[in-house]
Structure 1
């Protein structure tokens, strides 16, 4: 099993209505990778998403922002992975995470979907749970509150700033992730002060 990453998929919902909403935190990560590394994305109907490629420290990596709704995003990830013969172990999925505070990131190897509809569909479409996840903390609205309304809402300015700062740190650690040095990346992300 390789630990190198060949595909980074950022999850979100397409359309102007959802720009800037918490559920699109995975899109923000891919956008920041493009900004920092001179990448651009183009719509590709074959894969149901916006696709691009960047080179980071000599490592080529495909980028994907599915342009189908979150609960069907696995179709785009699986289509691209099949076309380029990328096994699940070489895929990193960046997604919003209710169980982490804003500004907190966690890398996770494999696992379940934790109720996240995008992850659920990716697991089903890939036929595997063995992909890497970049969990981007967006906080939880609290017991009894409307989770759907919360994730589809925009974060407060201080939360967005914390998320953006965390994403900048994740982008800085991307070379380690692409090289397969996931333990180093995890240690640095997980011990952030």
Structure 2
């Protein structure tokens, strides 16, 4: 059993912002595979299927760790059963990369999860949101997608759904070998 947990900020004002790409991906995965994410457990919105649990912590990004830890405990899962899905400023928009272990890279949501779990030993799916050098990072991540990005976002989410599906059902090695090779990472 794997916990696919998308990070984001609760509230409609953040729904279509760069920082919510983890939420957007969980919604797309849910839609594609018919796994409703409605149930509330341990501070998360959750949906379950045979081999996966889909989750979106119902908090603000920087407080994600507590609900993730509670859900792992409730489901009797270890951190290595977690795939944390989040945005990455330092990757080109639309690029996808799986990663095992590592630091938070300045991402406060990831930092919250690492601190709560007291472990870095979990998988991450990082989705590039690019960076605007004219904006402060904290403003940029809370901004909406540009017109071109909004058009590209649907393809990015579909590719990320395929990547997650490959990871879960065909193996992490296969998913990493296919999706971590993308240029621009």
* TM bucket, shorter chain: over 0.9
**Is the contact made by 1:113 and 1:119 (CA closer than 8 Å) also made in structure 2?**
yes
Q: How much has 1:160 moved relative to structure 2?
A: 2.7
Give every structure 1 segment of 4 or more consecutive aligned residues whose post-TM-superposition deviation is greater than 2 Å: 160-164, 173-176, 190-193
Output the aligned Cα RMSD. 1.6
Q: Which residue of 2 aligns with 1:47?
A: 42
Q: Equivalents in 1 of 2:49, 2:154: separation in Å?
A: 20
Normalization by structure 1: what TM-score?
0.89
**Is the contact made by 1:51 and 1:65 (CA closer than 8 Å) also made in structure 2?**
yes
Q: How much has 1:181 moved relative to structure 2?
A: 1.8
Q: Equivalents in 1 of 2:117, 2:64: separation in Å?
A: 11
Deviations 1:18-63 (CA, angstroms, capped at 9, x unpaired): 010000000011001101000111242x4112111134xxxx2011
Q: How much has 1:125 moved relative to structure 2?
A: 0.7
Q: How much has 1:109 moved relative to structure 2?
A: 0.6
Q: How much has 1:180 moved relative to structure 2?
A: 6.5
Q: How much has 1:184 moved relative to structure 2?
A: 1.3
Q: Which one of 126, 129, 133 corresponds to residue 117 of structure 2?
A: 126
**Which segments of 5 or more consecutive residues in structure 1 lack a partner in the other structure?**
none
Q: Which residue of 1 aligns with 2:29?
A: 33
**Which segments of 5 or more consecutive residues in structure 2 lack a partner in the other structure?**
none
Normalization by structure 2: what TM-score?
0.92
